[in-house]
Amino acid sequence: MENNYNVRKGLFSAKLRHAALCVLSQLLLLWVSTNRAQAQTYPANFSQVLVASGINQPTVVVPAPDGRMFVAEQTGALRVIKNGTLLPTPFLQLTVNSEGERGLLGIAFDPNFASNQYLYLYYTTSVGTIHNRVSRFTAQANGDQVVPGSETVLLDMERLEAANHNGGGIAFGADGKLYICVGENSKPDSAQTLTNHLGKVLRINSDGSIPADNPFANAPLDVTRRIWAYGLRNPYNIAVQPGTGRIFVNDVGQDSWEEINDATVGGRNFGWPLAEGPSANQNFVNPVHAYPHSNNVEIGCSITGGTFFNPATTNYPAVYIGKYFYQDFCRPFINLIDVAGDQSAFANSIPPYGVSMATGPDGNLYFLSRGDGALYKIVYTGPNEPEPPTDFAITGVTLNSCNEVSPGLRALTFTPQYTGQSGRPITFRVVNESLPTTNPGPYTINLYTDNPSIQLRARQDGVPGEVGFTYNWLAACNGSEPGPGNVAPVVATSIGAQSGQVGQPFSFILPANTFSDPNGDALTLSVTGLPAGLNFVSPNTISGTPGAPGVSTVTVTATDPGSLSVSTQFTLTVNPGSTNPPSGFAITGVTLNGCESLSAGERRLTFTPQYSGLNGQPVSFSVVNEMLPTTSPGPYSIRLYTDNPTIVLKAQQAGSPGEASFSYNWLSGCAGGARRMAERAETLSVRVLGNPVSSETVDVEVRGVAGQRVQVKALDSRGQVVGQASVHQVGTVERVTVPLGRPAGMYLLRVNTSTEQRTLKVLKN
């Protein structure tokens, strides 16, 4: 129903099949009336206030730097809300094609709007062929109307065939570049093709030119050179976090998943149409957060508005600062996620068909209801009391006692350790072992030794969400019995993100402490997903000269002598080479040796710079504002705060003129590699329940990855997938049933999380 009214695939489509019109209208009226009968639910002391109504088919709201709210109407009018009043005269009225989801879709204000009065619009034009366009306009001195004739066209895109999947979100990044979200126009394969704009995030300068540091800046075609990220379906919203510059893109999915993708780093492939939602494919970058269409927790079908809540000033409780709020067109909720992607509910039963959210200069959240044709703001009227810290976490466990009750059974007494305590009550539980309690502990529970790890959960009043900790109590008791036979290796330490440069030699030795083997066996490493020009040289080195820019997800697998294996992943960013590569001394990249979390906002970074043009003379190295010059060859270790994600490296080589400089986004490099002190890595453990099997299904028990998504595939002797099953969030012990083929014989079971993999053999009689 791509060309019909369908709240799943067509956000604004007005074409209705006559036979379905009456039924659908009745259902929509019933849904809206039911929603209206329910009072809006917000956290205590929050409520919504109507700002303005009478907005015709709104698509997006963006605040101007001076506090006015600009709202786009799909049919081409850009409206201004000033001092809480919708001005009767539009800022401008564009002639647009508004069929289906086309029309006026995106607004962005120039970072220097106060001085140049520039703003940028994304809209569908019928001039020539029907296509999407990005133009710059100039506001008059009073700011409420456009300067006539001031349009400057920056980008005309492909001719449109379908009326949907236009994307439309635009925003300026912290780097001053304009980011543009473009849908794949119902041509899914276009999202994986780098010779069109469809299914992409584009990045251009404010004058429409192409930045020299785009990931594909050396490509022969301008269309490719504009691409920042790809593999998207209908990226409707883009948001940039003040302070960090982090970029989130809301991508409307198809039949199963809605996605929030992190597009902060250029060159990423988010997988569409080869993947929707979390994927085990090593070539794709998984969403920061994704929710399915029916999980009884977060049900929706079309993610739309989103905003980082980082106002200059607000009276909201501090726990909401830095969170990413988002909404869904199909369901009247607003949820939020933290920097790790963990989701919490915020509001329900709000006005229907939400399409856009914004953080206002007044420190309030705003959202657009297309169903009401209205703009609302969310206000907080509670007491201005001291707020609890936002870094509440379980950091470890104090073992008080461990006594044997009987063979295989222990009585464990322990006390969890916390950080970020505010004095408010803490509700504690052990998943599948104890009910929630506000008793401060110690806690005593009986545990069987075949379940060596337990999942601790805690929630502090006033702090959204629940924190978790995996505790290997059996190891702490020092009473672990040896397992039967060979045990698979485990990931001991994550590998931090790495970077290199096109045309410059690259070498990286995989850290020796990445894996460990419970049996003490020697492990054999293998590597897949390397960019062009790089190879793996056994036993542990990646080397070569990168040939093309981009971001690769590299998978490192460790295999023991019994053919059991485990995998981990890291990102390798290849930056574009200079048109005229430096012939002298230069910093070409960084090897990340370690990234340790000291607190919620502080890391200890250990790294080694990579150089070209070394002549054997001493090199003096420094980090601007962070580390004084030193001739030590490194690695270097410094403490950094997460609100300063990029550092500037400087180096001077004796006998070489000038000083080399390199900007390093260390926080992006730490993504996936940072770890908290006292925290143990979770390990995927899998066993087959009954082997051999005689039925057409096999049961698998999964442990050690509670809360993660697990996918299980059954492969026949030819390597063909004959059955598969997945669980979005597994429990402490999860039983998964997987179909097998009818023929008897040997099958392989491949079990994946986002970072680990196990392969087991199953014999079918």
Tell me which of 412, 444, 478 is where a domain ends.
478
Closest CA to 53 of 86, 29, 78, 79: 86
Whole domain around residue 529: which residue ranges? 493-575
Closest CA to 290 of 318, 331, 262: 262
In a domain, 468, yes or no: yes
d(CA 172, CA 547): 30
Q: Quick one: three-class SS letters along 168-183?
A: EEEEECCCCCEEEEEC
Residue-averaged pLDDT of the chain = 83
Q: What is the pLDDT of residues 193-214, one digit of tens each?
A: 999 999 999 999 999 999 999 9
Residues 598 and 523 in one domain: no
Q: What is the pLDDT of residues 659-701, one digit of tens each?
A: 888 878 787 777 644 333 223 334 678 888 877 788 878 888 8
Tokens 């597009």 correspond to 263
Q: Which CATH number covers residue 452?
A: 2.60.40
Q: What is the pLDDT of residue 611?
A: 86
pTM of the full predicted structure?
Answer: 0.54
Contact call for residues 631 and 614 (beta carbons, < 8 A): no
Beta bridge partners of 70: 62, 80
Q: To the nearest whole percent, how much of the chain has pLDDT over 90?
A: 39
| pLDDT at residue 190 tops 70 | yes
> Quick count: other Cβ atoms within 10 Å of Cβ 318?
14
Q: What is the pLDDT of residue 717?
A: 63
Q: Which residues contact 616 (CB under 8 A, 6 or more apart)?
A: none
Confidence of residue 561 (pLDDT cuts 50, 70, 90): confident
In a domain, 227, yes or no: no
Q: What is the pLDDT of residues 383-412, one digit of tens each?
A: 765 544 456 788 888 888 898 888 888 889
Q: Pick 534 or 231 by higher pLDDT.
A: 231
Q: Which residues contact 580 (CB under 8 A, 6 or more apart)?
A: none
Tokens 């190879």 correspond to 535
Residues 503 and 556 in one domain: yes
Beta bridge partners of 106: 122
Taking every pair of Cα atoms in the chain, the longest distance, rounded to a whole number of angstroms, is 86
DSSP assignment of 501-538? ETTS-EEEEPPTTSEE-TT----EEEEE-PPTTEEEET
Q: What is the arithmetic mean of pLDDT over 2-27? A: 36
In a domain, 382, yes or no: no
Residues 593 and 655 in one domain: yes
The two tokens of residue 611 are 């150089």
Instruction: Tell me the one-letter amino acid at 434.
Output: S
Residues 465 and 497 in one domain: no
Beta bridge partners of 536: 542
Instruction: Tell me the one-letter amino acid at 78.
Output: L
Min mean pLDDT across 212-226, 670-684, 722-736 is at 670-684
Rg (CA), the chain: 27
Closest CA to 669 of 756, 601, 591: 591
Residues 497 and 553 in one domain: yes
Q: What is the pLDDT of residue 154?
A: 97
Tell me which of 162, 188, 220 is where a domain ends.
162
Q: What is the arithmetic mean of pLDDT over 468-486? A: 66
Residues 651 and 689 in one domain: no
| pLDDT at residue 18 tops 80 | no
> How far is residue 511 from each of residues 493, 669, 699, measured CA to CA in Å?
9, 16, 36
Residues 474 and 545 in one domain: no
Please, what's the b/e burial string for 237-247 (b: 16 or more CB within 10 A of its CB; e: otherwise)? bbbbbeebbbb
Q: What is the pLDDT of residue 262?
A: 95
Residues 153 and 74 in one domain: yes
Confidence of residue 465 (pLDDT cuts 50, 70, 90): low
In a domain, 473, yes or no: yes
Q: What is the pLDDT of residues 365-389, one digit of tens each?
A: 999 999 999 999 999 998 765 544 4
Helix (H) or strand (E) holding 35: helix 18-37
Confidence of residue 2 (pLDDT cuts 50, 70, 90): very low
The two tokens of residue 313 are 């000033």
Q: Which CATH number covers residue 725?
A: 2.60.40.1930
The two tokens of residue 309 are 């809540």
Where do the DSSP E strands lie in 602-744?
602-612, 619-623, 627-630, 636-641, 646-653, 660-665, 675-676, 685-688, 697-703, 710-715, 721-727, 733-739
| pLDDT at residue 145 tops 60 | yes
- Going by the DSSP 8-state scheme, the letter that residue 163 receives in this structure is S
In a domain, 736, yes or no: yes
Residues 590 and 632 in one domain: yes
- N residues, the chain: 765
Q: Which CATH number covers residue 551?
A: 2.60.40.10
The two tokens of residue 571 are 């990102």
Tokens 């057409």 correspond to 696
Residues 706 and 654 in one domain: no
d(CA 539, CA 307): 46
In a domain, 484, yes or no: no
Please, what's the b/e burial string for 373-392 (b: 16 or more CB within 10 A of its CB; e: otherwise)? bbbbbbbbeeeeeeebbbeb
> 443-448 and 409-419: which strand pairing?
antiparallel
Q: What is the pLDDT of residues 264-304, one digit of tens each?
A: 999 999 999 999 988 888 889 999 999 887 754 567 789 99
Closest CA to 330 of 35, 679, 758, 725: 35
d(CA 208, CA 157): 13
Q: What is the pLDDT of residue 12?
A: 54
In a domain, 696, yes or no: yes
d(CA 711, CA 727): 7
Contact call for residues 555 and 527 (beta carbons, < 8 A): yes
| pLDDT at residue 506 tops 60 | yes
Q: What is the pLDDT of residue 582?
A: 44
Q: How many domains does the chain have?
A: 5
Contact call for residues 40 and 350 (beta carbons, < 8 A): yes
Q: What is the pLDDT of residue 19?
A: 29
Tell me which of 105, 130, 162 is where a domain ends.
162
Residues 661 and 753 in one domain: no
In a domain, 247, yes or no: no
Residues 505 and 549 in one domain: yes
